[in-house]
Amino acid sequence: MHSAQGQTEAAAGYLKKASRIEIQLFNFCISCHGSLILRFGSMKPVIVVHGGAGCIFKEREDGSRSGVIRAALKGYSILKQGGCALDAVEQAVALMEDDPHFNAGCGSVLNQKGEVEMDAIIMDGKNLASGAVSAVKCIANPIKLARLVMEKTEHMLLTDYGAQCFAKAMGVPEIPGEKLITERSRERWMKNLEPDSNPHKFQTDLGTVGAVAIDSEGNVACATSTGGLTNKLVGRVGDTACIGSGGYADNHVGATSTTGHGESIMKVVLARLILYHMEQGMSPEEASDTALNWMKTRVGGLGGVIVVSNSGDWAARFSTKQMSWATVKDDQLYYGIYTGERLTKSFEEALTSEGF
């Protein structure tokens, strides 16, 4: 029987001589081998969350950083207790929807009429099931409604009035729209109504939220939620609710959630593009950078992504000035906002410091 070192050296020698097609086949075999291992329940859970890519004002950095840390801790706690990836990403995103530091749920930006319209998506990598809602109003947690669409209907996306009727039928509480509007969102909306204002100047200082995870069974999932663009046209729907753009999950590859300029993300189908690059043998980090660079050069769009592979590797990458993100793997928390920033503390220490 060959030693582990001998096998590693043989594999390295083979890769040096292999063609690109052979490398892809090699990676596919490794992926399949990893999938077999997962079926025996030996996968270590991982969660990655983001609080939106763009420009985060200095006075909001601490709140944004704390928000993604708390979301990651919440999701990882579910995974650590044997919970599924779907529950982990849903609860992590719901926590950020309740946090006014983010452009999702309470804290969402306003459309031209001064109303909140929200989009959300959730996807199960096991069977490619997905549920989404768009242009929904008076709902505290659109991500929970998106999951109901996935599990209680034969459809994948409900919008506006139809989503509202479905929410009522499912017993989802309706809340006054005013409860979702923060003073900050209202001030920005009013500022952007002024004749000489430029709404696009502030389109990237509040963030969409998202989460990806892999559980101990090897199943992956993604979830994304947003309030969209400031002073957008009534009824505008961005990338978030669109499968393959705002998020995608497939146990054969991994899961990703995106953030940034929605129209640009839709043009390149960013979430699925990243997983495509991973299928060609790229690491999550390489695939993320390649896809973000393509979006920038092809359509001039900026954004950010979080990714987890079906082997538990992860990435948090962005082409904007900042993106708040956090991940927990092997009981270790990692988090950051700026390019190259990667702070860390133990899971237990983080739980204590965040008051869990």
DSSP string, 106-154: TT----TTS---EEEEEEETTTTEEEEEEEE-S-S-HHHHHHHHHHHSS
Domains and CATH numbers, the chain: 46-354 (3.60.20.30)
DSSP 8-state class, residue 335: E
Specify burial of residue 183 (Cβ count, 10 A radius: 0-12, 13-18, 19+): exposed
Please state the pTM of the whole predicted model: 0.87
Cα–Cα distances (Å) from 352 to 48, 49, 73, 346, in that order, read: 20, 19, 11, 10
Residue 43 and residue 330: Cα distance in Å, rounded?
11
Q: Report the pLDDT value the prediction gives residue 206, as an integer from 0 to 100.
A: 54
Q: Are strands 209-214 and 46-54 parallel, antiparallel or unpaired?
A: antiparallel
Query: H or E stretch including 176?
Result: none
Residue 135, Ramachandran bin (φ over 0: left; ψ between -120 and 50: alpha; else beta): left
Catalytic residues: 208
Residue 69 and residue 333: Cα distance in Å, rounded?
8
Helical pair 85-97 and 61-80, crossing angle rounded to 10 deg: 150
Q: Report the pLDDT value the prediction gives residue 198, as an integer from 0 to 100.
A: 56
Quickly list H helices, the chain. 4-17, 20-38, 61-80, 85-97, 142-152, 160-169, 183-192, 262-268, 270-279, 284-299, 347-353
Tens digits of pLDDT across the chain (356 residues): 444 455 545 545 544 444 555 545 545 554 554 444 444 457 999 999 999 999 888 888 999 999 999 999 999 999 999 999 999 999 999 999 999 999 999 999 999 999 999 999 999 999 999 999 999 999 999 999 999 999 999 999 999 999 999 999 999 999 999 899 988 878 887 777 766 555 555 444 457 999 999 999 999 999 999 999 888 999 999 999 999 999 999 999 999 999 999 999 999 999 999 999 999 999 999 999 999 999 999 999 999 999 999 999 999 999 999 999 999 999 999 999 999 999 999 999 999 988 87
Residue 314 and residue 336: Cα distance in Å, rounded?
14
Strand order in the sheet with 332-338: 157-159, 129-136, 118-124, 220-226, 209-214, 46-54, 322-329, 332-338, 343-346
Residue 352 and residue 345: Cα distance in Å, rounded?
11
**Which residues contribute to the annotated binding site for substrate?**
236-239, 259-262
Q: Report the pLDDT value the prediction gives residue 14, as an integer from 0 to 100.
A: 47
Residue 68 and residue 300: Cα distance in Å, rounded?
27
Residue 196 and residue 9: Cα distance in Å, rounded?
65
**Which residues contribute to the annotated binding site?**
236-239, 259-262
